[in-house]
Chains A and B, each alone.
Chain A
Amino acid sequence: MGDKTLIEIKNLKMYFPITSGLFLQKSIAAVKAIDDVSFSIRKGETLGLVGESGCGKTTVGKCILQLYRPTHGEVLFEGNNLCQLSNKQLRPLRQKLQVIFQDPYESLNPRFTAADIIGEPLKIHGIVRGREYRKRIEEVLDIVGLAPYMVNRYPHEFSGGQRQRLGIARALALQPSFIVCDEPISALDVSIQAQIINLLDDLQREFDITYLFISHDLSVVRHISNRVAVMYLGKLVEVADRDELYKAPLHPYTQALLSAVPIPDPAVEAQRSVIVLKGEVPSPINPPSGCVFHPRCYKAFEPCPTVVPQLEDIGDGHYVACHLYPTPQYEV
């Protein structure tokens, strides 16, 4: 794993307009799904992106892949700003940027066989032809742990875990360098989850793939990620190396999230105290002023409701957006 940056996201914003009116639709408000998010992903690493539902993690993934065209900001991949490319210009790059979706029941076309599902991207990009085509499909199936005789099966003939393997095979077919894993295991059973995590791990090592691993399961994210980014209401609140983040979380939201994860051990649980956050996640249409977390924060103080905290490096690549941790420039 090198220090080379593969993908860089700068000041990314994604606003979804809320329209009113039947014929003359005019925008009356906007859902600020992502509001000014910047981070980078290094080559060969896994960046975990955690947060609660509706915080914008999936939108970040889709913006990187240009499945949503961001309202503002840059997505730099191999020197190209993806946001400025046309769909036609993007097409050759899409080979290298793939995705694994959350729900293996909905993300596979029920009328396609396994061969069609894996083969479609190969056909579109015109990678292999004739006999090679079949061979490549069987090869990919084998890589993800499915048997070659399953090529003519339809999605409903596979179990949940196998379907997710099929989703992974589809992403792998084009030999991508970057895969967005959008909650790839949350629809699976506990005993199957570990199988898929190990598979993703193996593939990364074998093919040198970079992952953006989106999940709400903090234990799984710790297992698979090198670095972790925490999102809350469309903003990044903390980014740090995995061990650092789990050992010494700085942002009160990260601290609450970690304390809320139950540990499968009654003796440990009896000793732990949970930080129970008050209230619920506010609406991204009208987010709170200042720090978006301040209405629920148990450490909020005077500047929080008014001043927006910036995501600042407080040392060793540990970024946090919280007024509790002033960066040196404020201490003048």
Chain B
Amino acid sequence: MSTLLQVRNLSTYFYTQDGVVKAVQDVSYEVAKGETIALVGESGCGKTVSALSILRLIPEPPGKIVAGQVMFDGTDLLKLSKGEMQQIRGAKISMIFQEPMTSLNPVLTIGRQLTETLEFHQGMKRKDALNEAIGLSKLVGIPHAEHRVKDYPHHFSGGMRQRVMMAMAISCQPQLIIADEPTTAVDVTIQAQLLEMIRDITNTLGTSVILITHNLGIVARYAQRVYVMYAGRIVEQGPAQAIYHDPRHPYTIGLLASVPRLDEPRKVRLAPIEGQPPDLIFPPVGCSFCPRCSQANSSCQENGHELVEVAPGHFTACGVACKELRHGR
């Protein structure tokens, strides 16, 4: 499979009154054509910021992409002009935002919001665009689409709004869809409906997907490769199978152990990760997981950012895990 998107050494900082928040530091990942990758991590670990950086949607100031490259189909998105960037957004890369309640414009009809992209990127006439919008709405499962395109977002339920977002995202048949916590605001049964639909549609169109979530179950079901983020950095990456069955980084291990699973016998006690995620203005020296890590030793405060390949395609940033490997586990 050929590479569609390559993020190289991306760093995004926010300059606030309290100091510089290093939201994303030296993050690299890539997406092949037709592939679904997942960025997993807790709130504030930089998953959304890294995705917004790809589309250059970071509010500036206070944010700034301080370093890195985002290679998309051979061009560096970070070097494009504003106008050129607009030709990419929505047309070649589109985004499904987390909160369908706040990410739709409340004073425009659903139809208008759907046709805007079509008119802008594909030069469609208003009428054709509306027909296309109705077709898209039907595709994402909005009943009575002909009538509903005249409605406003507040007429729609949360799940339906997320379908509208989905229709918008696929309207120009982009090569890449960034889905930022697409189902966090909806219920389990609606979550299943939406995710199955995203998978079916992207499979048919051959679209690549970056799935951003904190739900490890969703990742297991939909992603082929996984990047685990912690405190602004990628701490482990690899094929989904490897991450779930042979996690190496203590954070990944801890995260998997801390969630109760429906398919396993009930544990008497959960194994939480003690402590709190660090303050990104003053991140810990060395490995940022070190203060919460049970495996940590003195060397962890000196190094532990470098991703080392522990198995084909499986990288981890833990010095201790890598050392074990050298000693032949």
* A274→B196 contact, CB < 8 A: yes
Known: A257-B188, A268-B263. A190 touches B258 (CB 8 A): yes
- The distance in angstroms between the C-alpha atoms of A276 and B277, with both chains bound, is 36
B219 within 8 A of A: yes
A216 within 8 A of B: yes
Count residues of chain A with CB under 8 A from any CB of chain B.
43
Residue from B187, B190, B260, B263 within 8 A of A223 (CB atoms): B260
- The distance in angstroms between the C-alpha atoms of A14 and B42, with both chains bound, is 37
Q: Which residue of A lies closest to B160 (CB)?
A: A280
Chain B residues near A246: list those with CB within 8 A: 262
Chain B residues near A276: list those with CB within 8 A: 189, 192-193, 196
Residue from A194, A268, A281 within 8 A of B270 (CB atoms): A194
* B189→A277 contact, CB < 8 A: yes
Residue from B190, B215, B258, B276 within 8 A of A262 (CB atoms): B215
Q: Which residue of B lies closest to A275 (CB)?
A: B192
- The distance in angstroms between the C-alpha atoms of A52 and B188, with both chains bound, is 7
Chain B residues near A195: list those with CB within 8 A: 272, 274
* A191→B255 contact, CB < 8 A: yes
Residue from A191, A198, A257, A264 within 8 A of B254 (CB atoms): A191
Known: A267-B241, A274-B192. A190 touches B262 (CB 8 A): no
A310 within 8 A of B: no
Known: A198-B272, A264-B216, A266-B220. A189 touches B262 (CB 8 A): no
A318 within 8 A of B: no
B285 within 8 A of A: no
User: What are 24 pairs between A and B in contact, CB < 8 Å?
Assistant: A52-B187, A161-B276, A189-B277, A190-B42, A191-B254, A192-B272, A193-B272, A194-B270, A195-B274, A218-B188, A222-B262, A260-B189, A260-B191, A263-B262, A264-B216, A264-B217, A264-B219, A265-B245, A265-B263, A266-B244, A276-B192, A276-B196, A277-B193, A281-B187
A-B contact sample (7 more), CB < 8 A, given A193-B258, A223-B266: A191-B255, A193-B259, A223-B270, A256-B189, A264-B256, A268-B263, A274-B192
- The distance in angstroms between the C-alpha atoms of A190 and B257, with both chains bound, is 10
Chain B residues near A216: list those with CB within 8 A: 187-188
- Secondary structure type dominating chain A contacts: helix
Count how many pairs of residues, one from A and one from B, have CB atoms less than 8 Å apart in the complex.
126
Residue from A222, A242, A280 within 8 A of B159 (CB atoms): A280
A93 within 8 A of B: no
Chain A residues near B193: list those with CB within 8 A: 276-277
Chain A residues near B196: list those with CB within 8 A: 274, 276
Q: Which residue of A lies closest to B230 (CB)?
A: A191
Known: A191-B272, A198-B270, A216-B188. A263 touches B42 (CB 8 A): no
CB interface residues, B 206-221, toward A, < 8 Å: 214-221
Which 9 A-B residue pairs are closest in the complex by CB-CB distance? A262-B217, A194-B272, A264-B216, A52-B187, A223-B260, A194-B270, A191-B273, A194-B258, A260-B192
Chain A residues near B240: list those with CB within 8 A: 266
Q: Which residue of B lies closest to A246 (CB)?
A: B262
Write out, one digit per residue, whether chain B residues 259-301 have a CB within 8 A of any chain A CB (1) or not (0).
1111100110111111011000000000000000000000000
- The distance in angstroms between the C-alpha atoms of A282 and B245, with both chains bound, is 40
Known: A194-B258, A219-B262, A268-B263. A52 touches B189 (CB 8 A): yes
CB interface residues, B 147-170, toward A, < 8 Å: 157, 159-160
